[in-house]
Amino acid sequence: MRTALLQSSGRPGSVVGNLEVLDEAAGRAAGAGAGLLVAPEMFLTGYAIGDIARLAEPADGDAADTVADIAGRHGLAIAYGYPERDGEAVFNSAQLVSADGSRLANCRKTHLFGCFERDHFTPGEQPVVQAELGGLRVGIMICYDVEFPENVRAHALAGTDLLLVPTAQMHPFQFVAESMIPVRAFENQLYVAYVNRVGREGEFEFVGLSTLAGPDGVARARAGRDEELLLADVDPARLAASREANPYLNDRRPGLYGSLI
Peptide bond connecting 166 to the previous residue in cis, omega within 30 degrees of 0:
no
Give residue 76's region: left, alpha or beta (phi > 0; psi -120 to 50): beta
State CA 7 to chain mean position distance: 11
Instruction: Give the three-state DSSP class for 20.
Output: helix
Q: Which of 84, 107, 143, 201 is catalytic?
A: 143
143 counts as catalytic? yes
107 counts as catalytic? no
Q: Which of 57, 109, 117, 201 is catalytic?
A: 109
Beta bridge partners, 222, equal: 211
Instruction: Give the three-state DSSP class for 39.
Output: coil
Q: Are β-strands 129-133 and 136-140 bridged in parallel, bridged antiparallel, or unpaired? A: antiparallel
Q: Which of 41, 84, 117, 147 is catalytic?
A: 41
109 counts as catalytic? yes
Residues 6+ apart with CB under 8 A from 172: none
> In angstroms, rounded to a whole number, what is the distance separating the alpha carbons of residues 208 and 210?
5
Active site residues: 41, 109, 143
